[in-house]
Amino acid sequence: MTASPEPFGARLRRAMDERGPLCVGIDPHASLLADWGLNDDVAGLARFTRTVVEALGEHVAVFKPQSAFFERFGSRGIAVLETAVEEARDRGALILMDAKRGDIGSTMSAYAEAFLHPGSPLFSDALTVSPYLGYGSLQPAVELARQSGAGLFVLGLTSNPEGAEVQRAVREDGRSVAATMLGHLAAENAGAEPLGSFGAVVGATLGDLSAFDLAINGPLLAPGIGAQGATPADLPTVFGKAVRNVVPSVSRGVLKHGPDTGALRAAAARCADEVRAAVA
Confidence of residue 225 (pLDDT cuts 50, 70, 90): confident
Integer Cα distance of 9 and 168 in angstroms? 27
Residue 1 lies in a domain: no
Amino acid identity, residue 152?
L
Q: What is the mean pLDDT of residues 141-168?
A: 97
Q: What is the pLDDT of residues 36-70, one digit of tens each?
A: 999 999 999 999 999 999 999 999 999 999 999 99
Return the closest-CA partner of residue 97 out of 132, 119, 122. Answer: 122
Q: What is the pLDDT of residues 169-182, one digit of tens each?
A: 999 999 999 999 99
Residue 3 lies in a domain: no
Q: What is the pLDDT of residues 208-222, one digit of tens each?
A: 999 999 999 999 999
pLDDT at 126: 98
Residue 244 lies in a domain: yes
**Does the pLDDT of residue 280 top 90, yes or no?**
no
State the total domains in the chain: 1
Q: Annotated catalytic, 100?
A: yes
Q: What is the mean pLDDT of residues 159-164?
A: 93
Domain that holds residue 114: 8-275
CA distances to 14, 119, 131, 132 from 86, in Å: 20, 12, 28, 31
**Does the pLDDT of residue 90 top 80, yes or no?**
yes
Question: Contact, 170 vs 179, CB < 8 A?
Answer: no
Confidence of residue 2 (pLDDT cuts 50, 70, 90): low
Residue 2 lies in a domain: no
Catalytic residue among 64, 100, 241, 256: 100
CATH number at residue 263: 3.20.20.70
pTM over 0.95: yes
pLDDT at 1: 53
Q: What is the mean pLDDT of residues 255-273?
A: 97
Confidence of residue 257 (pLDDT cuts 50, 70, 90): very high
Amino acid identity, residue 140?
P
Residue 29 lies in a domain: yes
**Does the pLDDT of residue 228 top 80, yes or no?**
no
Residue 232 lies in a domain: yes
